[in-house]
A and B are shown apart, each in its own frame.
Chain A
């Protein structure tokens, strides 16, 4: 099997702070890969670099045969992403959000229409397609984002903490759908999560990152054997220690807090 993602000596510095420190890894085509780590370990920074949102300080990334930095437009066609924070337009309807995505990715009108119906039905939002996204619950927004991320049939799907704040029902539903897609369409899945049992159950391979370094990788069984533990949670804690990490609120977080304080829920 060939690699769909190849990362070599990737480093990202913000001033003096090294967020991602010389990491290298490969992901095979059709693999479900979990990227685990405490807050501030460098997970999201790595995803941002792989998805062309952030340029690395040094190192190379190849995704679906394209150099991420040099050939960013080709790379953008190859992946879909569900971000950690919402990235929908609240003032548009579910259908309009999907449609906008289709146009941005150059999906033809007829095909776009067909896929929107298919995907919205799949995430059980077809009945609500003409509702504004601002009327949706967190779970519904998440489902809509997943549907949108799949609209252009990406080869790789990035999911950055996709189940954060979702109830077990929605979470379960979402993962069975993504596993199904992985089997039928051969989509490679790269996800991060804080729920260890989720990674244990879904991921075929796991990498643990801490302080910007990949400190362990392999199947869940390998990680457990390596740390002499019985659960992935214990393996994770044994690898990363029990000290609670502080993550500084970004300006965006602070602004969102203020906005939430001023708008009725």
Chain B
């Protein structure tokens, strides 16, 4: 009986995970749209700042930039995936899940895993695209670990998006979240510049979860460390758990 119950829980989480993936693969415009932004950043910043970066004695800017742009892809895709709850509120599908005899926690976990999987796929696609413009990971053996970092970060930010979306009723607040949360988190994370020489911003970056994602990726893919892998993993793991708890708490309070 206990086993059957667990099996049922797993199935409900799986079907909600699958739904997120189906929605992703069916929306080609969304897929292309969310790859265009990182690509523009890669090309314009990569080629624009590359020579200056080299002249300043910092080495190859593409090697430095790619992990940062993967981090950008992760935070944007994840937060938006989490915030899809607002769309489901709007188009009613959320009600269908809320009246079902499934705990809110399972619903939240299924959706969050789905959103995080989508974001990790996007991050991996950006990594593949960057190979075309000349990026080379220092060791292919470390790439799977980098993908685990992506998944961990994606979980963190999807849970954050879920927590925010649970508190919002409509898309009005969406632009506000992008401009006052996602953008600052991205720009302060050291995704596009080295934190070691950034002065005050380098200090603020310590409070930005994305700094640790970017640092871990940069460490694993380009061998450019700042905080160190142990710190990165430790902080990401703790924050992921904290945001999952926060997201499921807020989601459990949603009333329609």
Which of B95-103, B214-222, B238-246 faces chain A? B95-103
Contact B26 A91 (CB under 8 A): yes
Residue of B nearest to A72 (CB): B101
- Pairs of residues from A and B, 5 with the lowest C-beta to C-beta distance, nearest first: A87-B92, A76-B101, A104-B100, A251-B169, A251-B170
Query: Can you list 11 A-B pairs, Cβ within 8 angstroms, ordered by A?
Result: A48-B256, A53-B99, A76-B99, A87-B91, A89-B19, A89-B93, A103-B14, A106-B101, A252-B170, A254-B170, A255-B170
The yes or no answer to A92 lying at the interface (CB within 8 A) is yes
Contact of A104 among B90, B94, B97, B170 (CB under 8 A): B97
The yes or no answer to A100 lying at the interface (CB within 8 A) is yes
Chain B positions within 8 Å of A, measured between CB atoms, are 8, 11-12, 14-15, 19, 22-23, 26-27, 89-103, 169-172, 255-256
Assuming the contacts A92-B19, A104-B100, asked whether A53 and B93 have C-beta atoms less than 8 A apart, the reply is: no
Contact A87 B96 (CB under 8 A): yes
Contact B101 A77 (CB under 8 A): yes
Contact B27 A91 (CB under 8 A): yes
Contact B98 A92 (CB under 8 A): no
Task: Enumerate chain B residues within 8 angstroms of A99, measured Cβ to Cβ.
Answer: 15
Contact of B15 among A83, A100, A259 (CB under 8 A): A100
Contact B99 A103 (CB under 8 A): no
Given A51-B99, A79-B99, A86-B91, 11 extra CB contacts under 8 A: A54-B255, A77-B101, A86-B92, A89-B91, A89-B93, A89-B96, A92-B22, A101-B96, A104-B100, A255-B90, A259-B90
Contact B22 A52 (CB under 8 A): no
Task: Enumerate chain B residues within 8 angstroms of A6, measured Cβ to Cβ.
Answer: none
Contact B100 A76 (CB under 8 A): yes
Q: How many residues of A contact B (CB 8 A)?
A: 38
A96 to B97, CA, bound (A): 14
Task: Enumerate chain A residues within 8 angstroms of B92, measured Cβ to Cβ.
Answer: 83, 85-88
What distance in Å separates the Cβ of A30 from its nearest Cβ neighbour in chain B? 22
Task: Enumerate chain A residues within 8 angstroms of B256, measured Cβ to Cβ.
Answer: 48, 53-54
A258 to B169, CA, bound (A): 14
Task: Enumerate chain B residues within 8 angstroms of A51, measured Cβ to Cβ.
Answer: 99
Assuming the contacts A52-B99, A92-B22, A104-B101, asked whether A256 and B12 have C-beta atoms less than 8 A apart, the reply is: no
What distance in Å separates the Cβ of A55 from its nearest Cβ neighbour in chain B? 7
Contact B93 A252 (CB under 8 A): no
Q: Taking each of B99, B169, B256, which has the highest tally of chain A beta carbons within 10 Å of its own beta carbon?
A: B99
Contact A103 B15 (CB under 8 A): yes
Residue of A nearest to B107 (CB): A104
Task: Enumerate chain A residues within 8 angstroms of B94, measured Cβ to Cβ.
Answer: 87
Contact A104 B91 (CB under 8 A): no
A73 to B102, CA, bound (A): 7
Assuming the contacts A100-B15, A100-B19, A104-B12, asked whether A53 and B89 have C-beta atoms less than 8 A apart, the reply is: no
What distance in Å separates the Cβ of A48 from its nearest Cβ neighbour in chain B? 7
A248 to B191, CA, bound (A): 45
Task: Enumerate chain A residues within 8 angstroms of B14, measured Cβ to Cβ.
Answer: 103
Q: Taking each of A79, A99, A105, which has the highest tally of chain B beta carbons within 10 Å of its own beta carbon?
A: A105
What distance in Å separates the Cβ of B233 from its nearest Cβ neighbour in chain A? 34
Residue of B nearest to A88 (CB): B93
Task: Enumerate chain A residues within 8 angstroms of B96, measured Cβ to Cβ.
Answer: 87-89, 101, 104, 148
Task: Enumerate chain B residues within 8 angstroms of A254, measured Cβ to Cβ.
Answer: 170
Contact of B255 among A55, A83, A88 (CB under 8 A): A55
The yes or no answer to A81 lying at the interface (CB within 8 A) is yes
Contact A252 B19 (CB under 8 A): no
Task: Enumerate chain B residues within 8 angstroms of A101, measured Cβ to Cβ.
Answer: 96, 100
Task: Enumerate chain A residues within 8 angstroms of B90, measured Cβ to Cβ.
Answer: 252, 255-256, 259
Task: Enumerate chain A residues within 8 angstroms of B15, measured Cβ to Cβ.
Answer: 99-100, 103-104
Task: Enumerate chain B residues within 8 angstroms of A52, measured Cβ to Cβ.
Answer: 98-99
The yes or no answer to A90 lying at the interface (CB within 8 A) is yes
Contact of B12 among A48, A55, A73, A103 (CB under 8 A): A103
Task: Enumerate chain B residues within 8 angstroms of A89, measured Cβ to Cβ.
Answer: 19, 23, 91, 93, 96
Task: Enumerate chain B residues within 8 angstroms of A74, measured Cβ to Cβ.
Answer: 101
A92 to B93, CA, bound (A): 11
A87 to B87, CA, bound (A): 11
Task: Enumerate chain B residues within 8 angstroms of A252, measured Cβ to Cβ.
Answer: 89-90, 169-170
Contact B101 A73 (CB under 8 A): yes
What distance in Å separates the Cβ of A5 from its nearest Cβ neighbour in chain B? 16
What distance in Å separates the Cβ of B104 from its nearest Cβ neighbour in chain A? 10
Task: Enumerate chain B residues within 8 angstroms of A250, measured Cβ to Cβ.
Answer: 169
A88 to B95, CA, bound (A): 9
A53 to B102, CA, bound (A): 13
A79 to B96, CA, bound (A): 12
Contact B26 A255 (CB under 8 A): no
Contact A255 B171 (CB under 8 A): yes
Contact of A91 among B22, B98, B100, B170 (CB under 8 A): B22
Contact B100 A53 (CB under 8 A): no
